[in-house]
Amino acid sequence: MLSRRRTEHLLAEALLRPTVNGFVRALWRPVLVNPEAFPSEGPCFFYGNHSNLLDPFILNVFTRWGRCTAGVMTFEQFRGGLKTWAFRSIGLRPTRKRVPEPHLIREIYRFLDAGRQVVIYPEGGRRWDGRPMPWIEATAKLFVRCGVPVYPVRTHGSYVGWPRWAKYPRPARIRVEVLPPLTFDRRTPLDEALARLRAPIAAHDDAAFPEAVRPRRAYRPADGIHRLLYRDPRTGESGGLFTPDGARVVNRAGTLRLTMLPDSTLRDDATGERHFTGDLYATIRALPLEKGRDGAYLRSRVALHTETDFPNLVAHGMAEAVLFDDAVRLTTADGSFDVPLEAIRYADVERNYKLQLTLAGRMMQLGFVEDGSALQWLDALRRLCAADLSTHAAAV
């Protein structure tokens, strides 16, 4: 007789495989380019480049029924309902990514002891522009200490299939390549392990991908580009780039007109030059922060939520958020209050429009649902804060 846990696992797979995996198959027709390299059983880790919301489910197109991978997923996906039940039942666990979570490490050890294959994306989230992000070093420590094979996975077409900033996916032809496993022993120096682990997934997915995966068409491919290209790279104006029709990207000065192609490269309408989103984002990130006359760097209307007891978010309505040198000022219908920057222990963007600030004992979520860019705020906070809020390493 099947145990209750096993029965729930099979029921959850029966829900997810025809729905989520069915969507993946229909839109991207994923192909495993080297099926002989895919381990059929036994405990191991998978990791890889991660730009597409559905990368874990793309990989699971190639796992056997009842043998889907376990892993971790941002806690934002575990706020109740059928989806939360299904994710937990198949072995997905919520994580706050760069916040220390010893209980989660113990859970991963239990999965491996049970012979499960575990997917972890060590950059802590989806790449915004298809280019590598800083690693969570604790993940490398975990790979080294567990003593099981670690398989790098290259998902060719992950970024061009659905960029994080984009509102709509593109019908690419995704190709999955499982590379030879890496093995470590507990004495492997962390620097050596990181170098070996980073190398297989170091390609820039916005610029280097097989021609076979390139989308030939896309519906309104420029929608959402303001979330990534949040300043005009020529004038530095915040919110200076926008799309009037979902296909063209123009600046408010009228001096730049680009066409977004289905593969998310941008063609200059005047010169024909093609630009990669990663290059434009790098240019924008290098621009100096500009302070207004009132001392504010950024000002946006946001949907404000707070949370002291996961997963119970408390809504506070719309608020004006203003970023100063030393604080974030929030003004709601009930008044104003400041959040000192020194009180922010960790900051990151969930999905592509929710800035989450982790404080002592609570979390504040700023939803950029009307205007502004959560990524712009995060980049500015990283520059203003003495500590790097994005690379807080959890102890393993």
DSSP string, 228-293: TS-B-TTT--BT-EE-SSSSEEEETTS--EEEE-TTS-EEETTT--EE-HHHHHHHHHHSPP---T
Residue 129 Cα to chain centre, angstroms: 10
According to DSSP, residue 62 is labeled G
H or E element in which residue 171 lies = none
Q: From CA 3, how far away is CA 114, in angstroms rounded? A: 14
What's the pLDDT at 97? 67
The C-alpha R_g of the chain, in whole angstroms, comes to 21
Dist. CA 202–CA 119, nearest whole Å: 18
The number of C-alpha atoms within 13 Å of 114 and in the hemisphere containing its C-beta is 15
Report the Cα 111 to chain-centroid distance in Å. 24
The total of other beta-carbon atoms located within 10 Å of residue 137's CB is: 19
SS3 of residue 177 by DSSP = strand
Q: Where in the chain is the domain with CATH 3.40.1130.10?
A: 4-213
What Å distances lie between residue 380 and 188, 366, 375, CA to CA? 36, 15, 9
Q: What is the side-by-side order of every strand in the sheet holding 257-260? A: 241-242, 248-251, 257-260, 266-268, 274-275
User: For the stretch 215-245, what's the b/e string if a residue is b when 16 or more beta carbons lie within 10 angstroms of its beta carbon?
Assistant: beebeebbbbbbbbbbbbbeeeebebbebee
Contact status, residue 271 vs residue 219, Cβ threshold 8 Å: no
Packing angle, helices 137-146 and 190-198, rounded to 10: 100
For residues 277, 278, 284, 288, the Cα torsion angle rounded to the nearest 10 degrees is 180
pLDDT at 98: 64
Q: Are 238 and 296 in contact (CB under 8 A)?
A: no
Q: From first to last of the 396 residues of the chain, give the pLDDT tens digit.
A: 578 999 999 999 999 999 999 999 999 999 999 999 999 889 999 999 999 999 999 999 999 999 999 999 998 899 889 999 999 999 999 988 666 678 899 999 999 999 999 999 999 899 999 999 999 888 999 999 999 999 999 999 999 999 999 999 999 999 999 999 999 988 899 999 999 999 999 999 999 889 999 999 999 999 999 999 999 999 999 999 999 999 999 999 899 999 999 999 999 999 999 999 999 999 999 999 999 999 999 999 999 999 998 888 999 999 999 999 999 999 999 999 999 999 999 999 999 999 999 999 899 999 999 889 999 999 999 999 854 554 433 333
Which residues belong to CATH 2.30.29.30 in the chain? Answer: 298-384
Crossing angle between the packed helical segments 137-146 and 102-113, to the nearest 10 degrees: 30
**Pick from 203, 212, 252, 207: nearest CA to 229:** 252
- The CATH architecture that domain 298-384 belongs to is Roll (2.30)
Tell me which fold the domain 4-213 belongs to. Glycerol-3-phosphate (1)-acyltransferase (3.40.1130)
Specify the pTM: 0.93
